[in-house]
Chains A and B, each alone.
Chain A
Amino acid sequence: MTPEEGIFLAELCAERAGLKIDAEKAYLIENRLGPLARREGYGAVSELLEVLRGRADERLLTACVEAMAPNETVFFRDRAVFDHLWRKVTPELARRRSDGVVRIWSAGCASGQEIYSLAMLQAEQAAPGKIELFASDLSERQLERARLGVYSSFEVQRGLSARRLVRHFENRDDHFQLAKPLRQAVRWRRVNLLDDLTPLGAFDIVLCRNVLGALTPAARARAMERLASVVASDGVLVLGVNEEVAAEGFLPETAARGVFRRASEIRAAA
C-alpha cells in the first residue's frame, strides 16, 4: 500500500463517518480491508484502493468505510457497569415512566455482544418494567452478523460465564448461536452517529462504549452532541470506563465508571 493510498483512505473515512484512521498503520488497514478486498476479487488491499481512487463506486466506497469502523466488543464488558445499569438505573427509570417502559440503545454495537448482554439479564431476572432494546452500527455487515447472533468459541469465552453459555446459546456447527427469543428481543438499525439522531426518539439509556475514541476530534464532538440530544431528560449516557463525557449537562455516577447522568436530573433529585 502506498502512502497516497493510505491518505486517500484516511480522508475518505474521516469525511464520511468521522473515523480517525492513521494512514501509516498499514497492518490495521490490511487487517480491516483484507476480507473486503478478497470478497470483491482483488488480489491485495492496495489494488482495491487503487480502483477506488480511480472511480466513484459508491457501493464499494461505503463498504470500505464500514469495514474500517471499530468492531471490538465483548459480552458483559466491565461487569460493574452492567450490574449498576440493571440493578439501579433501569428499575429507577421504570418506576418513573407512566407506562413502565425503559428504552435502551446500544450505539455502535458491532457484533452485538453488549445489547445481548442486556437481553440475557432481561431473560434471567424479572425486569422492573418493560425493556425495549435497540442496537445500531455504521456497518450493515456488522449488523447482519449481530442479528444472526453466531459467535466463535473464542468470543463466547470473553466475558460470558459457562452457565450463561449453556442457558442462552445453541450449538451451530463449531460456533454458538444465541437463542431466538433473545435475538428477537432486539431491534436493529444502521445509524451514522454524525447524522441527526432525533428521528430515533428519546432513549432512557444510551450506551456508546469505546466507539467515540475511534473518531476525529471534530467528529467526536459532533457525535457526542448528537447522542446527548436523544438521552431522556432523566436518562443516562454510558461510555467506556476510561472515556469522559464531552457534552454539557452530564455528570458522572459515582457507583460505576463511564456512566453519566443528566445534570438537570441530579439537580432535581437534590
Chain B
Amino acid sequence: MKTCLVVDDSRVVRKVARRLLEDLGFAVAEAADGLEGLAWCRAMMPDLVLLDAAMPLMSGLDFLRRLRLEPGGRAPKVIFCSAETHLDRIREALDAGAAEYIIKPFDGDIVAEKLALAGVA
C-alpha cells in the first residue's frame, strides 16, 4: 500500500484529505506543521506528501526545500495545496520540486486527477 503524509495545520483539512486519500487506497499519516512533517519523513519516507502552503513555524515552501535535502527526500511526490492562484506562486512551488499544485478548496475528483497527473494514482 502506498503511503501519504498530509501536512496541514487545519485539523478539518487533514480529516477531509485523509478520507479522500484512504478512499484512493493510500495509508495516511498526518502532521500539523512542517517540523512534525519532517520528523515523520525521517522516520519513514512516504510515497506522497499533500502539503499545505501556509502553516505556522514553517511554510510549505520551506518544508519542501528542506525535505529535498533529507536522505531519500527527493523520492516523495509532493502535491502543493494553496488558495493562492497567482501563477508566479504556482511556478515557485513547481520550481521547488512540487509535482503538482492544487488550488484550494479541493474535492475528491481534483485530488484524484492531480494524483494521476503526478503519476502516483
A binds B: yes
Contact with B along A164-199 (1 / 0, CB 8 A): 011001110010100000000000000000000000
Q: Is the CB of A161 within 8 A of B117?
A: yes
Report the minimal beta-carbon distance from A153 to chain B, rounded to whole angstroms: 4
Is B1 engaged at the interface, CB distance under 8 Å to the other chain? Answer: no
Q: Is the CB of A163 within 8 A of B86?
A: no
Q: Is the CB of A171 within 8 A of B110?
A: no
The 26 listed contacts between A and B (C-beta, < 8 Å) are A153-B103, A154-B110, A157-B102, A157-B103, A157-B106, A157-B113, A158-B113, A161-B100, A161-B117, A162-B98, A162-B100, A162-B101, A162-B117, A163-B94, A165-B87, A165-B90, A166-B87, A166-B90, A166-B91, A166-B94, A169-B87, A170-B87, A171-B85, A171-B86, A171-B87, A174-B85
Report the minimal beta-carbon distance from A1 to chain B, rounded to whole angstroms: 30
Contact pick for A157, options B86, B87, B98, B110, CB 8 Å: B110
Report the minimal beta-carbon distance from A241 to chain B, rounded to whole angstroms: 15
Given contacts A166-B87, A166-B94, 4 further A-B contacts (CB under 8 A): A157-B114, A163-B94, A165-B101, A174-B85
Residue of B with least CB distance to A163: B94
The residues in B between 45 and 82 inclusive whose CB is less than 8 angstroms from any CB of A are none
> Which residues does B use to contact A, with CB under 8 Å?
85-87, 90-91, 93-94, 98, 100-103, 106, 109-110, 113-114, 117
Is A159 engaged at the interface, CB distance under 8 Å to the other chain? Answer: yes
Contacts of B114 in A (CB 8 A): 157
Among A158, A166, A171, A176, residue most surrounded by chain B Cβ atoms (within 10 Å): A166
| Measured CA separation A163–B92 after assembly (Å) | 11
> Which residues does A use to contact B, with CB under 8 Å?
153-154, 157-159, 161-163, 165-166, 169-171, 174, 176
Contacts of A165 in B (CB 8 A): 87, 90, 101
Report the minimal beta-carbon distance from A48 to chain B, rounded to whole angstroms: 32
Report the minimal beta-carbon distance from A19 to chain B, rounded to whole angstroms: 26
Residue of B with least CB distance to A164: B117
| Measured CA separation A91–B101 after assembly (Å) | 32
Q: A162-B94, A162-B101, A163-B94 are in contact. Are A153 and B113 (CB under 8 A)?
A: no
Contacts of B93 in A (CB 8 A): 162
| Measured CA separation A169–B103 after assembly (Å) | 15
Report the minimal beta-carbon distance from A252 to chain B, rounded to whole angstroms: 24
Residue of B with least CB distance to A74: B113
| Measured CA separation A176–B87 after assembly (Å) | 9
Which 4 A-B pairs give the minimum distances between C-beta atoms? A162-B101, A153-B103, A166-B91, A161-B117
Contacts of A176 in B (CB 8 A): 85, 87
| Measured CA separation A87–B113 after assembly (Å) | 23
Q: Is the CB of A159 within 8 A of B90?
A: no
Residue of B with least CB distance to A156: B103
Among A154, A157, A165, residue most surrounded by chain B Cβ atoms (within 10 Å): A157
Residue of B with least CB distance to A173: B85
Contacts of B117 in A (CB 8 A): 161-162
| Measured CA separation A161–B119 after assembly (Å) | 11
Contacts of A169 in B (CB 8 A): 87
Contacts of A153 in B (CB 8 A): 85, 103
Contacts of B109 in A (CB 8 A): 158
Report the minimal beta-carbon distance from A170 to chain B, rounded to whole angstroms: 7
Among A162, A170, A171, residue most surrounded by chain B Cβ atoms (within 10 Å): A162
Report the minimal beta-carbon distance from A171 to chain B, rounded to whole angstroms: 6
